[in-house]
């Protein structure tokens, strides 16, 4: 098959567009973690991605320009370009440019990820299998095994490959055995994980140093083998019905048209076209349904799934090339495809990562804000793993000096739950609330004074901590701009998970609070329930409690299952002495996610309403979750004291003082009890 120059020209043009719009530094998602793993020849998150680590580590040494993150982003674009070169054999210039500029592909090409190398392996395998020769099939089998050591979704090509071998009458036992051996040879690349783990890799997720742990990493047992995400896993037919809608969003109208074209010419299509469609069927809709991603947030689903549309979209473009001969109005079809490709060009500015410094600036600001000699504690929240992975990149790839970092799970940095965080049956580090809080409090009180980062937490994590505009810190001066703050806006308009853009606006509002900046934040767009919830305290700090209430109510209208919004609304009601409404809102928050702070707030409201027994029960539930809540012990002591149970009150006050000997309220109340004895 002769490849036209126009098709090659389209691929080269797309490559230059990719390069111009590359992210200049670390990007969100897994980018920072993957770069850190590659830079140290370490073990990335399950299944470890050894082939990605080896190839990118080698290429980053060859390509010397820019920082390590930019080099990795360039290599990522190179993977897409190389895949397009294999696609040139099957498609036209218009289809190839349409593919390159479609949102799912363009966004994937701009920053480091494993999915583009997976695309390259898949396209190379399909290219080899086009020719019905056994040597090609053996080469494809080796690449198949090697590709599985990069990303396991390549296994989804297997049903199509089996069909093609049967169709070509090559599915006899001796040859299948040879194919299997070739694939296993490539798959042996996974032994790299054991070698690096045993040789002390500094970046070592899951520690696959033993055979059992190696199997756990390969099977992704921390996530669930078929899950696209560590949570929200629920297999349902609704996912299958939602697939075409998401395909249209990520890849435009051809995602719908090409399968319809295939079905309309099903009988005329040859075996290779059937092979391509089977590959699309298993790598696309069937995998999407089996992965079972479900969430009430449309933005969350789009963010998690967009990258999984990269491979099926490429297969569809190659299938369109195979069905080209069946089209009756080829000129009209070609003109339409060119028109859509040009329309994609107009959206490039809003999707370009060219000025995306936001995450790097965020990480630098956090590092600078931590006082010398203190540790940094990070809880996952509105920005997910982005900050954790960005700090991993800063530490291991850029060699930036930073404070000791602790997280809620010990995969990247040490866990504040200890060396052996308690697990649930899923394998995730997700301890019971009581054990988790006890471990966290023990950690906080055991060492020197520490900074505490919890951006998404709307309430103070501890009574003596305050929010200084960037971090939760001990004895922080409220409403004081953080001098370590540094932030460059990215100009990115169409980022699907907008956490970083939200931070962009949010931090500007916190640095210089004003009604204008707060209004910008509160009207950013849809799917911003977290932003609206976090903007409430900003409005309240400006004295605009009415706007704070609007923010919380808007967040609830977007996501009624957001407990933080209900809790914050209750705090607002409590401050206005509307205790009945406060109790209702706290109860709603607790029903969604039981939490010691929310139970404490609920108990205070019930106490104000004179519902002593219910308040007492809520305080006890608070203590069940957080046994070291001395504030709850103090309130229970006051209830006992008012009821005349002096001995019971004394016991609660003494227990509270054993946890926090410096609490003035407990000291005063205990003195009152002793005087009354």
Sorting pLDDT into bands at 50, 70 and 90, what band is 166? Answer: very high
Sorting pLDDT into bands at 50, 70 and 90, what band is 513? Answer: very low
Q: Please state the rounded mean pLDDT for residues 207-211.
A: 93
Sorting pLDDT into bands at 50, 70 and 90, what band is 424? Answer: very low
Q: Please state the rounded mean pLDDT for residues 245-249.
A: 91
Answering whether pTM is above 0.85, one says: no
What does pLDDT average to over the chain?
81
Sorting pLDDT into bands at 50, 70 and 90, what band is 379? Answer: low
The whole-number pLDDT of residue 119 equals 98
| Residue range 105-158, pLDDT digits in tens | 999 999 999 999 999 999 999 999 999 999 999 999 999 999 999 999 999 999
Asked whether residue 654 carries a pLDDT value surpassing 70, the answer given is yes
Q: Please state the rounded mean pLDDT for residues 522-543.
A: 60
The whole-number pLDDT of residue 141 equals 98
Asked whether residue 531 carries a pLDDT value surpassing 70, the answer given is no
Long-range contacts of 597-603 (CB under 8 A, 24+ apart): 597/459, 597/567, 597/622, 598/563, 598/567, 599/625, 600/629, 600/631, 600/632, 600/635, 601/567, 601/570, 601/571, 601/574, 602/570, 603/632, 603/635
Q: What is the DSSP string of 440-480?
A: HHHHHHHSS--EEE-TT-SS-SSTTEEE-SS-EEETPPTT-
Q: What is the percentage of the chain residues whose pLDDT exceeds 90? A: 49
More confident residue, 420 or 608: 608
| 429: three-class secondary structure by DSSP | strand
Asked whether residue 173 carries a pLDDT value surpassing 80, the answer given is yes
| Residue range 17-64, pLDDT digits in tens | 999 999 999 988 889 999 999 999 999 999 999 999 999 999 999 987
Q: Please state the rounded mean pLDDT for residues 319-335.
A: 91
Q: How far apart are the first and last CA of the chain?
A: 99
């Amino acid at each position: 098959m002769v490849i036209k120059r126009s098709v090659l020209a389209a691929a080269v043009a797309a490559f230059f567009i990719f390069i111009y719009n590359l992210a200049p530094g670390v990007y969100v998602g897994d980018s920072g973690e993957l770069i850190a793993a590659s830079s140290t020849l370490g073990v990335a998150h399950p299944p470890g991605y050894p082939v990605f680590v080896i190839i990118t580590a080698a290429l980053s040494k060859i390509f010397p320009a820019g920082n390590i993150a930019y080099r990795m982003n360039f290599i990522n674009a190179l993977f897409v370009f190389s895949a397009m070169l294999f696609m040139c054999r099957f498609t036209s210039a218009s289809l190839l440019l349409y593919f390159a500029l479609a949102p799912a592909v363009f966004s994937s090409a701009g920053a480091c990820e494993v999915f583009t190398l997976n695309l390259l392996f898949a396209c190379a395998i399909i290219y080899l299998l086009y020719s019905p020769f056994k040597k090609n099939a053996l080469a494809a089998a080796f690449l198949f095994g090697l590709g599985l050591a990069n990303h396991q979704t390549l296994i989804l090509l297997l049903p199509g490959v089996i069909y093609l071998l049967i169709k070509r009458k090559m599915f006899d036992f001796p040859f299948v055995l040879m194919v299997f051996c070739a694939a296993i040879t490539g798959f042996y690349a996974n032994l790299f994980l054991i070698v690096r783990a045993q040789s002390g890799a500094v970046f070592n997720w899951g520690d696959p140093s033993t055979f059992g742990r190696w199997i756990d990493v390969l099977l992704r047992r921390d996530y669930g083998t078929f899950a696209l995400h560590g949570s929200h896993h629920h297999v349902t037919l609704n996912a299958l019905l939602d697939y075409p809608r998401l395909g249209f969003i990520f890849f435009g109208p051809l995602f719908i048209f090409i399968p319809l074209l295939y079905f309309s010419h099903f009988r005329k299509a040859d075996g290779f076209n059937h092979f391509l469609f089977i590959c699309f069927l298993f790598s696309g809709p069937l995998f999407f349904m089996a992965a079972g991603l479900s969430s009430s947030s449309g933005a969350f689903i789009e963010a998690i799934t967009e990258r999984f549309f990269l491979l099926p979209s490429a297969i569809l473009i190659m299938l369109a090339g195979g069905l080209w001969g069946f089209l009756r109005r080829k000129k009209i079809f070609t003109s339409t495809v060119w028109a859509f490709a040009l329309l994609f060009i107009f959206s490039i500015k809003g999707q370009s990562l060219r000025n995306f410094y936001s995450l790097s600036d965020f990480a630098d600001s956090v590092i600078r804000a931590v006082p010398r000699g203190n540790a940094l504690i990070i809880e996952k929240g509105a920005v997910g793993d982005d900050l954790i992975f960005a700090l991993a990149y800063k530490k291991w790839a850029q060699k930036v000096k930073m404070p000791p970092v602790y997280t809620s799970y010990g995969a990247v940095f040490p866990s504040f739950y200890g060396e052996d965080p308690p697990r649930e049956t899923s394998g995730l580090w997700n301890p019971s609330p009581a054990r988790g809080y006890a471990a966290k409090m023990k950690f906080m009180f055991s060492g020197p004074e520490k900074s505490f980062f919890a951006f998404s937490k709307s309430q103070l994590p501890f009574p003596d901590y305050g929010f200084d505009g960037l971090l939760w810190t001990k004895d922080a001066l409220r409403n004081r701009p953080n001098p370590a703050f540094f932030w460059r806006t990215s100009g990115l308009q169409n980022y699907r998970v907008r956490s970083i853009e939200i931070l962009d606006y949010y931090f500007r509002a916190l640095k210089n609070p004003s009604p204008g900046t707060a209004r910008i934040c509160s009207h950013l767009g849809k799917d911003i329930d977290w932003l609206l919830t976090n903007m409430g305290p900003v409005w309240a700090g400006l004295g605009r409690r009415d706007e704070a209430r609007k923010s919380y109510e808007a967040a609830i209208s977007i996501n009624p299952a957001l407990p933080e919004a209900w809790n914050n609304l209750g705090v607002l009601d409590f401050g206005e002495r509307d205790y009945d409404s406060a109790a209702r809102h706290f109860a709603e928050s607790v029903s969604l996610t039981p939490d010691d702070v929310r139970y404490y707030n609920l108990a205070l409201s019930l106490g104000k309403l004179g519902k002593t027994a219910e308040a007492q029960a809520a305080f006890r539930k608070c203590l069940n979750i957080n046994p070291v809540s001395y504030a709850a012990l103090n309130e229970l002591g006051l209830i006992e004291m008012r009821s005349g149970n002096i001995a019971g009150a004394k016991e609660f006050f003494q227990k509270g003082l054993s946890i926090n000997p410096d609490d003035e309220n407990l000291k005063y109340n205990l003195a009152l009890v002793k005087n009354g004895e």
